C-alpha cells in the first residue's frame, strides 16, 4: 500500500491515493489542483523514503472538493458575583481535498 505523510496547515497527515480529508482554509477554488511538496515520508510497499526535513522528488497532487465552515463552537465567558456573561460562536473555515496521485521523480 502506497502512502505519504505530508505537512499541511501546521499539521501532519497520512495520505493515500483516493483519500479525502480537510485542511485549514486554502485560497483555491472548487475543482482546482493543489500540489503538496512538503512530503515528510514516502512508502511504496517495498521501501521507505524519509525526508530531512522533506523528501526530494516526491510530491502529492490533489483536487479541491469543497470550501466550507465546520460546526459552530460556542465560547462562554462567565465571572461569578459580577453579572458578567458573554457568549460567542465560532465556525472554522476549511478546505476539503481529494488526493489524486503521489508523484515520484
pLDDT tens digit string along 38-58? Answer: 999 999 989 999 999 999 999
The mean pLDDT of 66-86, rounded to a whole number, is 97
Considering the entire predicted model, what is its pTM? 0.84
Q: What is the pLDDT of residue 35?
A: 97
3-class secondary-structure state, position 105: coil
Place of cell 483536487: 63
The per-residue b/e assignment along 75-85, b for 16 or more CB within 10 angstroms, e otherwise, is eeeeeeeeeee
Cell triple for 21? 480529508
Please provide the average confidence, as pLDDT, over all residues in the chain. Answer: 96
Q: What is the pLDDT of residue 105?
A: 83
| Contact partners, residue 81, CB within 8 Å, separation at least 6 | none
pLDDT cut 70: percent of the chain above it: 100
- Does 1 score more than 90 pLDDT? no
Amino acid at each position: 500500500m502506497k502512502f505519504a505523510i505530508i505537512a499541511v496547515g501546521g499539521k501532519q497527515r497520512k495520505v493515500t491515493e483516493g483519500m479525502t480529508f480537510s485542511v485549514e482554509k486554502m485560497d483555491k477554488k472548487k475543482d482546482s489542483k493543489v500540489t503538496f511538496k512538503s512530503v515528510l515520508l514516502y512508502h511504496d510497499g517495498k521501501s521507505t523514503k524519509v525526508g530531512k526535513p522533506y523528501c526530494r522528488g516526491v510530491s502529492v497532487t490533489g483536487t479541491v472538493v469543497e470550501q466550507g465552515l465546520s460546526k459552530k463552537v460556542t465560547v462562554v465567558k462567565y465571572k461569578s458575583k459580577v453579572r458578567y456573561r458573554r457568549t460567542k460562536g465560532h465556525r472554522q473555515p476549511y478546505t476539503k481535498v481529494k488526493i489524486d496521485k503521489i508523484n515520484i521523480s
